Amino acid sequence: MELTDLQAQRAAKLEQLRAAGIDPFPPRCQRSHTIGAALAAFDNLVARETTITLAGRIIGARRVMGKIAFAHIEDGSGEIQLWLSRADVGDEWFERFRDQIDTFDIVQATGTLRRTKTGERSLFVRELRVLAKAINPPPEKWAGLQDVEERHRQRYLDLIVNRERRDVFRARARIITTMRRALDERGFLEVETPVLQPLYGGAAARPFTTYHNALGQNLYLRIATELYLKRLIVGGFPGVYEIGKNFRNEGVDRSHNPEFTMMECYQAYADYHAMMALVEEMLGEICLAVHGTLTITYQGRELDFRPPWPRITMAEAIAERTGIDITRHTDLTSLHAAIAERGLRVDRKASWAKQVDELFSEFVQPHLVRPTFVIDYPVAMSPLAKRIPERPDFAERFEAFIAGMEIGNAFTELNDPFDQEERFREQLRAFAAGDEEAHQMDEDFINALRYGMPPTGGLGIGIDRLVMVLTDQPTIREVILFPHLRERTD
RNA sequence: GGGCCGGUAGCUCAGCGGUAGAGCACCUGACUUUUAAUCAGAGGGUCGUGGGUUCGAUCCCCACCCGGCUCACCA
Convert the pLDDT of each residue in A383-394 to its tens digit. 999 999 999 999
Minimum-distance nucleotide, CA of A206 to C1': B74
Distance from CA(A94) to C1'(B48), angstroms, rounded: 43
Closest nt to A136 (CA→C1')?
B10
Lowest mean pLDDT among A144-153, A240-249, A337-346, A468-477: A337-346
Q: What separation, in Å, do the N-terminal and C-terminal C-alpha atoms of chain A show?
A: 13
Q: What ipTM, to 2 d.p.?
A: 0.89
Rounded to the nearest 5°, which phi and psi values hold at A364?
Answer: -105, -55
C1'-nearest nucleotide to the CA of A477: B68
pLDDT at A318: 93
pLDDT of residue A347: 81
CA A118 / C1′ B33 distance in Å: 7
Q: Which residue is nearest to nucleotide B1 (CA to C1')?
A: A251
| CA of A206, C1' of B1: distance in angstroms | 17
**pLDDT value of residue A300:** 87
Q: Please compute the mean of the pLDDT values over residues A276-299 and round it to a whole number.
A: 96
- Residue burial A400-429, b: 16+ Cβ < 10 Å; e: rest: bbbbebbbbbbbbbbbebebbbebbeebee
Nucleotide with the nearest C1' to A438 CA: B75
The protein residue nearest nucleotide B36, judged by CA to C1', is: A142
Cα-only R_g, chain A: 29
The separation, in Å, between residue A430 CA and nucleotide B74 C1' comes to: 17
Q: Which of A251, A257, A254, A203 is nearest to A404 (CA)?
A: A254
Q: Please list, in sequence order, all residues whose beta carbon lies within 8 angstroms of the beta carbon of residue A233, skipping any fewer than 6 positions away.
A: A240, A266, A268, A413, A453, A454, A456
**Predicted confidence (pLDDT) per residue in A308-353, tens digit:** 999 999 999 999 988 999 999 988 888 988 888 888 888 877 888 8
> What DSSP state is assigned to residue A31?
-
* CA of A399: nucleotide with nearest C1': B75
Q: Average pLDDT for residues A54-65, to the nearest whole number?
A: 94
pLDDT of residue A1: 59
- Average pLDDT on A232-257 reads 93
**Nearest protein residue to nucleotide B43, judged by CA and C1' positions:** A5
Is residue A431 within 8 Å of A421, Cβ to Cβ? no
DSSP label at residue A488 = P
Distance A469 CA to B10 C1' (A): 35
H or E, element range at A267: strand A259-268
Average pLDDT rounded to a whole number, residues A197-218: 91
Per-residue model confidence (pLDDT) at position A354: 84
Distance A147 CA to B20 C1' (A): 23
* Confidence (pLDDT) at A490: 47
Across the range A166-176, mean pLDDT stands at: 96
Q: How many CB atoms lie within 10 A of CB A34?
A: 16
Share the mean pLDDT of chain A: 93
A386 Cβ neighbours under 8 A, 6+ residues apart? A395, A396, A411, A412, A413, A414, A415, A416
- Residue of A196, A199, A200, A223 whose CA lies nearest to A210: A196
List Cβ neighbours of A355 (8 Å cut-off, separation of 6 or more): A332, A335, A336, A339, A346, A347
d(CA A111, CA A70): 14
By C1' distance from the Cα of A70, the closest nucleotide is: B34
> In this prediction, what percent of chain A has a pLDDT beyond 90?
80
Spacing of A140 CA from B40 C1' in Å: 23
Which nucleotide's C1' sits nearest to the alpha carbon of A115?
B33
For residues A376 and A392, is the Cβ–Cβ distance under 8 A?
no
- Which nucleotides of strand B lie within 7 A of protein CB? 1, 9-13, 23-28, 30-37, 43-44, 48, 65-75
CA–CA dist A207, A220 (Å, integer) = 6
- From the CA of A7 to the C1' of B44: give the distance in Å: 12
**SS3 state of residue A158:** helix
pLDDT of residue A330: 87
- Could you tell me the distance in Å between the CA of residue A482 and the C1' of nucleotide B47? 30
A408 pLDDT band, cuts 50/70/90, is very high
